[in-house]
Amino acid sequence: MGFAWDSAAIRLCSCFVQKVGLILGVFWAMGETRAQEEFFPEVDNLTPARALPFGSDSPVAAGDDQLALVSPVTFLQVVAGVEEVESPGAPGVELVGLTVDQQETLRSRLETFRGRPLTERDLLTLSEIIIRHYEDHDRPVVEVWIPPQAPESLESLVVRVEEGRVGSVQMRASSAFNEERLSRALFLSRGDLLKTSDLTAVTTWLSRNPFRQAEIFAAAGESHGEADLIIAFEEKRPWQLYAGYENSGTETTGEERFLLGGVWGNAFDRDHILAYQATLGANPGEFQAHGLSWEVPLHGRHEFFRLAASWARVVSESNTLLGPTEVEGGIWQVGVSYGRPVAGPSWQGELSAGLEFKRSDTFLTFGDLAGLDSDTPVEVVQARLEFQARRERGPEEQWEREGRMALVVSPGGLSRRNGGEDFAAYREGADQTYFYLRGQGQASRAWGDWTLALRGEAQLASGALLPGEQLGIGGLRTVRGYREREYLADHGWWGSVELRSPAWRSHWREHELAAQGLLFLDQSWAWREGEDRESFLSLGLGARAQWHGANLRADLGFPLLEGDGPRAHLGLVWRW
């Protein structure tokens, strides 16, 4: 490849996209971080939590700003949860019984109300400041009022605060899931302080299942300051099947890929998520792969256990020093992980840690001919720490972002075929002791009816890796216009910029038909340990269409740095 720039315009474009791609890969750290050819079914566990039924962005009521209702005060007292309060002390602002965080910040904001007459508008603003402070610090429900003041305290003002607490907690009947098991996730108890983080944790956890979304409704409780909570569900049929086609295979195993799989969202009536996918070549006897994932939720702890396994077999004819030779081999792997969801005010994600074991006697599925002369398999044993997150577009957030970051570490020597000689047989310089950091991200933003979409991935490794751990460059999901996994890199990044047209919509056979065109610019800058950097750059156009359960993607990429000419990338999936 090298740096054979075609023109100054391409050079300028490349420099720009290098910066975009590096930002995407390193700072956003989003998306799928596993090797592109591990054949696992995909399950979306990051369903956005519904908004809580508390809080308001309404402006403060105007109120009368002419007539003073309170004479200038030197002592302002804000009281919560205390019936009797001491007489005013030294001039200032005193907070009594409040449990909210950052009270010094609240006190300093209330200082502005001392030393001057207070009108109706001032009192409403004072109450609003207290309410907003609670909302901004994890407390969505609070009531503020000004009780009758003691006649002898003309220069003081007492403000009462009722901090919201949990009343009764109920769950509406579920038609598709085991209610008794789901109820274990409700750790809210009567009398607990109402906290946004606690409520979000419950809805986020119960919405992890892709066939169910939880929402909280609230009503005034029996006691003053209490809120009765009802958890309701928007449910789908708890299973889905799909079939599809992609030309996303490697040159060594054939480009044709036929997919058949399904997801069972309430496996064994235990709320387990069981997913399977078969990936077949044009001739299943020459290539086939099977992947399985099984997630077990621990509702009482808001944590999960996940098992993933895959197996692939390939028969291919390759050219060796002895001439054309039929090569047969396979790879299988199993991984276990343990994790928990994490969430913030406007995003949700999960953090997990696990172990992986892989055994392979060929890397043809990854597009690499390494180890064809080896008659023994190699084993990979490694630990993985992974974080993924999603942030939805909102009133104050114009970008929608999601993705993952993973740290993979292998100490080496943990199994019979996990030594230095085993690794060297498949790649010179590869060591059984290594680590790598991989992140991938995507973001999108709408401008009117047009959409700008960005994607990228980056990897940094400690040294030479086996093909199964390298970053694959080229193909349907990375740099279009090049062959699938045309280049395998230890370090590097790729980035993509897409401009999507307004969607065209119509109806066909009682279902909506939607289509959208796009232009894209893809680039990669990557290298193998000890070798020169390689660059890839392409321009192209594509289309996306959706009808009923069918989703079509079609892209045509034109490589600008060498390459074999224009290449089409197709994908069609039907879900039912």
- Residue 326 phi/psi, 5-degree rounding, is -80, 125
**Between helices 103-110 and 120-136, what is the axis angle to 10°?**
170
Average pLDDT over residues 430-437: 96
Please give the residue that has the higher pLDDT: either 574 or 179.
574
Name the token pair of 218.
């609230």
Q: Which segments of 22-164 are extended strands (E)? A: 68-70, 75-80, 92-96, 118-119, 142-145, 156-163
Q: Which two tokens stand for residue 533?
A: 């950097």
AA identity, residue 338? Y
Confidence check: pLDDT of 320 > 70: no
Residue 229 identity (one-letter amino acid): L
Residue keyed to tokens 């490697």: 250
pLDDT digits (tens, 9 = 90+) for 475-524: 999 999 999 999 999 999 999 999 999 999 998 888 899 999 999 999 99
Element (H, E) at 186: none
pLDDT computed for residue 225 by the predictor? 85
- Residue 62's pLDDT is what? 57
Strand partners, 493: 458, 525
Q: In this predicted model, what pLDDT tens digit does every residue of 354-384 receive, in sequence order? A: 999 999 988 887 776 665 666 789 999 999 9
Counts for the chain of helices (H) and strands (E), in that order: 6, 28
Residues 380 and 333: their CA atoms lie apart, in Å, by: 9
Given a cut of 50, is residue 561 above it in pLDDT? Answer: yes
Could you report the per-residue pLDDT of 127-178, keeping only the tens digit for each?
999 999 999 999 998 999 998 887 766 788 999 999 999 999 999 888 889 8
The residue behind tokens 């894209």 is: 520
Contact 325, 364 (CB under 8 A): no
Q: What is the pLDDT of residue 6?
A: 38
**In the chain, what percentage of residues exceed pLDDT 90?**
65
* Phi, psi for 4 (deg, rounded to 5): -80, 80
CA distance linking residue 160 with residue 531, whole number of Å: 71
If pLDDT is split at 50, 70 and 90, which confidence band does 328 have?
Answer: confident
Q: State mean pLDDT over 184-192.
A: 91
Cα 68 to Cα 229: distance, rounded to the nearest angstrom:
40
Q: Which CATH superfamily is domain 68-163 in?
A: membrane protein fhac (3.10.20.310)
Instruction: Label residue 195 by pLDDT band (50, 70, 90).
Output: very high
Q: Note whether 293 and 306 are within 8 A (CB).
A: yes
pTM as predicted? 0.83
Regarding beta strands 226-235 and 212-220, do their DSSP bridges make them parallel or antiparallel, or are they unpaired? antiparallel
Report whether pLDDT(26) > 50. no
Tell me the pLDDT of the chain averaged across its residues: 86
CA 124/CA 542 separation, integer angstroms: 55
pLDDT in tens, 37-73: 567 777 777 666 666 666 555 555 556 667 778 888 8
Please tell me the least confidently modeled range out of 216-220, 513-517, 533-537: 216-220
CATH classification number, 166-235, choose in 3.10.310.50, 3.10.20.310, 3.20.20.70, 3.30.70.360: 3.10.20.310
Q: What is the pLDDT of residue 251?
A: 84
* Domains 68-163 and 166-235 belong to one CATH topology: yes
Find all residues with CB under 8 Å of 8, minimum gap 6, and list them: none
Q: What is the pLDDT of residues 386-409, one digit of tens each?
A: 999 998 877 667 889 999 999 999
pLDDT of 4 above 50: no
Does the pLDDT of residue 540 top 50, yes or no? Answer: yes
Q: Which two tokens stand for residue 526?
A: 């990557």
Domain ranges of the chain: 68-163, 166-235
Cβ neighbours of 368 (radius 10 Å): 21
Please give the Cα distance from 356 to 34 (Å, whole number): 11
Asked whether the predicted pLDDT for residue 535 surpasses 90, the reply is yes
**Strands (DSSP E) along 421-510, which ranges?**
434-447, 450-461, 471-473, 487-489, 491-500, 504-508
Alpha carbon distance 260, 564 (integer Å): 31
Mean pLDDT across the stretch 195-203?
A: 91
Checking if the pLDDT of 17 tops 60, the result is no
CB atoms within 10 A of CB 111: 11
The segment with the largest mean pLDDT, out of 175-189, 369-383, 544-558, is 544-558
Cα dihedral across residues 413, 415, 420, 423: positive or negative: negative
Ramachandran category for residue 199: left, alpha or beta (phi over 0 → left; psi -120 to 50 → alpha) = alpha
At residue 307, what are phi and psi to the nearest 5 degrees? Answer: -120, 135
How many angstroms separate the CA atoms of 133 and 379, rounded? Answer: 56
